[in-house]
Amino acid sequence: MATTGQLIESFAFIMSLSRFYLAPLLWQAETLVFSGDEAAHCSRVLRRQIGDQIEVFDGAGRVATATIITLSKNSVHAAINSIVQHEPRAADVHLLQAMIKAEPFEWLLEKATELGASSVRPVMTQRSVVQLSGDQLEKKWLKWQRHMIESAKQCHTPWVPQLERPADLKSVLHSLPADVFKVMPSLTQNTCGLHDLSFAGKTSVFALIGPEGDFTSEEEALAKKHGFQSVTLGPLILRAETAAMTTLAILGHELRRGLSTNEPSFP
């Protein structure tokens, strides 16, 4: 049995390894091959060498330690040393985020990854100041996904939230399951706090966050019609990205506390 010192040393070694992302469908049995930005980052930025050990993860709970066997600016081959498959998270938080300006939205995606969101769905609302479509949307979506991967690499989570395609609020509300827990931070008076709700046994929560200027009264009424419960985050008026992070942090804590199963190793 490993001693505490050995466990700490092993953890420190793993945390010191350079991390790289490889999509689940690209994994092979013995050798991992990655190219593009990840290969360039490995060889040209971090200047890893043949024989170096690295960590590779797929964003779905699988993490491998591997040894680089061939390396160029366009491609890296690494032989797998060991693989850990983390258990699925005991509870899922799905963030439905109204579109906001580019810089705060990208920051939000990074923090949503760190705080353990299972998925993020950009939502177009009447007060959304950003409207995207076609090629512009595709480029943005790829950039957003990259932000989330980089955030996962930095915070050492084995999970990358699923990034859904943007859709208008009405379509999103109609697409949600009817029997899941749904919350919506609101400025409406006499709403209860997230801490006042019971999360015992809850395994899936959808959190709907408004844009700059919040939802219109018609949108809020529509969300309530689809089962969303208004909650307050306190007496202050928070920025949209701050409201999202506060909601994710509180939900993560309450869900872990409310579940009867063991807590997962990672958020």
Round the CA-based radius of gyration of the chain to a whole number and report it: 20
Cβ partners under 8 Å of residue 108, min gap 6: 97, 100, 240, 241, 244, 245
Residue 198, pLDDT score: 86
pLDDT band, residue 265 (cuts 50/70/90): very low
252 with 121: CB under 8 angstroms?
A: no
pLDDT for 75-102, tens place per residue? 999 999 999 999 988 889 999 999 999 8
pLDDT for 133-144, tens place per residue? 778 888 889 999
pLDDT above 70 covers a percentage of the chain that reads 90
pLDDT band, residue 6 (cuts 50/70/90): very low
User: What tokens appear for 126 in the block?
Assistant: 């009447």
Is residue 36 within a helix (H) or strand (E), and if so which, with residue range?
helix 36-40
Residue 132, judged by CB atoms within 10 A of its CB (0-12, 13-18, 19+), counts as middle
Q: Is the pLDDT at 227 greater than 90, yes or no?
A: yes
User: What tokens appear for 189 in the block?
Assistant: 């008076």
> Is pLDDT larger for residue 177 or for residue 118?
118
Is 0.85 topped by the overall pTM?
Answer: yes
User: What tokens appear for 186 in the block?
Assistant: 């609101």
Residue 112, pLDDT score: 97
User: What tokens appear for 133 in the block?
Assistant: 């479509």
Mean pLDDT computed over 179-192? 86
Domains and CATH numbers, the chain: 4-85 (2.40.240.20), 92-258 (3.40.1280.10)
Mean pLDDT computed over 58-71? 96
Say whether 18 sits in a helix, a strand or coil: coil
Q: Residue 138: phi, psi to the nearest 5? A: -65, -45
For the chain, the average pLDDT equals 88
Mean pLDDT computed over 216-234? 94
Q: Is the pLDDT at 179 greater than 90, yes or no?
A: no
94 with 208: CB under 8 angstroms?
A: no
